[in-house]
Structure 1
Amino acid sequence: MGTLFPALYDFFMKPLEKRKFISIRRKLLNNATGDVLELGSGTGINFPLYQDVHHVTAIEPNPNMTNRAHENKKQAIVPIEIVQVGAEKLPFEDNTYDTVVATLVFCTIPNPEMAIQEMKRVCKPNGTILMFEHVKMQNPFLSKLQDWLTPAWKKVCDGCCLNRETENLVKQNGLKMVGKEEFYNGLFIALQIRNIKEEC
């Protein structure tokens, strides 16, 4: 995990965040309730947006990101705990969280399927999973362009894959989508998911 990317992340993302992303994040996070787990919280851009929740546990494996998250933590109106750990092996009990949040993180998780399984495990039965991700586009030319660019992009952007098929992973792992919005011709998607599973 490099130190340059975390330092530049907010600077380069700021125009997109101010123009569109912040409203997408706010609308999505309005659906969060109870005890919340946020995967890959990065620099903590979501922290000030949480409203009617009890507590947020935010995990982030890159210490250079978490160092930059504390300023956003100060702006939060709900209690937030930052834990330095990856998404593929969460140190939490089954059925712990009412809501699990992942925003612009599944592109960088080394094993995204394992992370989806972990989300399912720690989210309560009938709990909510909220995702905002960039994904592989349906347009054949643009999707091939994403495939072509991804090897170089990963090196520059801390492992970010432009061509992740995150929506397919959600479906393949038995999660029930109850809401979906697309942005920028399907490059970005926001998903509301219900964690259907039998009570333990």
Structure 2
Amino acid sequence: MGGLTYIDFLAKFGIGGAHPGGFGLTKYILSKENITNNSWVLDAGCGTGQTAAYIYEQYKAKVFGLDINPIMLEKAATRFKNLNFPIQLIQGSVEQIPFEDHTFDYVLSESVLAFVNKPKALKEFYRVLKKGGRLIANEMTLNSVLNKFEEQEIKNFYNVDSLYLEKDWITLLQDTGFQSINVSSQQVDFLYGNNKQEFNFSPNFEPELFEVLNKHGHMLIKYHNILSHRIFTCTK
């Protein structure tokens, strides 16, 4: 596939709500929190800005979007400009967040931790959260242990360094210092209508990216009983 990755595919296709459960699940999760117009929210790995825009529109919170991918940031910037939303975008890594300690009331991570150094990123999330601040994470989670071949196949395709079971995530969150850890695996798209997948295609994208899309579909079918997700909510 010419070195093109799953992240390249997401960026060039401009997919909003690519995380497990989709945009409907995002809205449902956020509705369970106490976000207000006084809340400072970091959308860590904001992608094309679909969730960040929703948070501002729905709650009028002070929203910041952080992403390392310039293509996604450009699409997010265009979205916010067209909507006239005062959302600040920052290019940077979740492993080294360019904000002071105790800045945010909420950190949101949607299918981001899976692709980075998990302990390092979680320590950064913990650092930038205020005391009592909330982490909301929707992340790839294995339902059962894989054999070595299966594990390597998934790691290679998604370019991830590790695959976690639910208990592994909980242990890591506890080790980071998070408390009141709640775990769920809801699929609630049907509760929130009009959640068709959003695309924002780049003008020039490689035909090979369709191969990545096909392979992604193949992986989802092959590992549909094993490759899942969990929603983790916890407090600093």
Q: TM-score, normalised by structure 1?
A: 0.77
Q: Alignment partner of 1:88: what SS?
A: coil
Equivalent-residue separation in structure 2 for 1:151 and 1:191 (angstroms): 22
Letter in structure 2 aligned against 1:148? Q
Match of 1:39 in 2: 44
Does residue 89 of structure 2 align to residue 86 of structure 1? no
Flag the structure with larger Rg.
2
Equivalent-residue separation in structure 2 for 1:152 and 1:175 (angstroms): 30
Tell me by how many angstroms 1:148 deviates: 2.7
Does residue 230 of structure 2 align to residue 192 of structure 1? no
Equivalent-residue separation in structure 1 for 2:184 and 2:8 (angstroms): 32
Cα deviation code 1:101-136 (max 9, x no counterpart): 111111111x2211111111110001111111112x
Whether the 8 Å contact between 1:146 and 1:163 is mirrored in structure 2 is: no
Tell me by how many angstroms 1:48 deviates: 3.3
Does residue 64 of structure 2 align to residue 63 of structure 1? no
Q: Number of aligned pairs?
A: 184
Match of 2:103 in 1: 96
Equivalent-residue separation in structure 1 for 2:126 and 2:162 (angstroms): 24
Q: Alignment partner of 1:58: what SS?
A: strand
Q: Alignment partner of 1:148: what SS?
A: helix
Match of 2:152 in 1: 148
Match of 1:106 in 2: 113
% identical equivalent positions: 22
Equivalent-residue separation in structure 2 for 1:161 and 1:69 (angstroms): 27
Name which of structure 1's ranges 47-56 and 81-90 shifts more when overlaid on structure 2. 47-56
Name the CA shift for 1:187/1:177 in 2 (closer, same or farther; >3 Å).
farther
Equivalent-residue separation in structure 1 for 2:85 and 2:52 (angstroms): 8
Equivalent-residue separation in structure 1 for 2:68 and 2:169 (angstroms): 20
Does residue 180 of structure 2 align to residue 173 of structure 1? no
Does residue 50 of structure 2 align to residue 49 of structure 1? no
Q: Alignment partner of 2:72: what SS?
A: helix
Tell me by how many angstroms 1:87 deviates: 0.9
Name the CA shift for 1:151/1:138 in 2 (closer, same or farther; >3 Å).
closer
Match of 1:127 in 2: 133
Q: TM-score, normalised by structure 2?
A: 0.66
Which of the pair has the greater relative contact order for Cα pairs under 8 Å at 6+ separation? 2
Equivalent-residue separation in structure 2 for 1:138 and 1:78 (angstroms): 39
Where does the alignment leave 5 or more consecutive residues of structure 2 unmatched? 188-224
Name the CA shift for 1:191/1:151 in 2 (closer, same or farther; >3 Å).
closer
Letter in structure 2 aligned against 1:150? I
Tell me by how many angstroms 1:149 deviates: 1.6
Whether the 8 Å contact between 1:153 and 1:161 is mirrored in structure 2 is: no
Equivalent-residue separation in structure 2 for 1:27 and 1:123 (angstroms): 22
Whether the 8 Å contact between 1:56 and 1:78 is mirrored in structure 2 is: no
Match of 2:163 in 1: 163
Where does the alignment leave 5 or more consecutive residues of structure 1 unmatched? 196-200
Alignment root-mean-square deviation, CA: 3.0
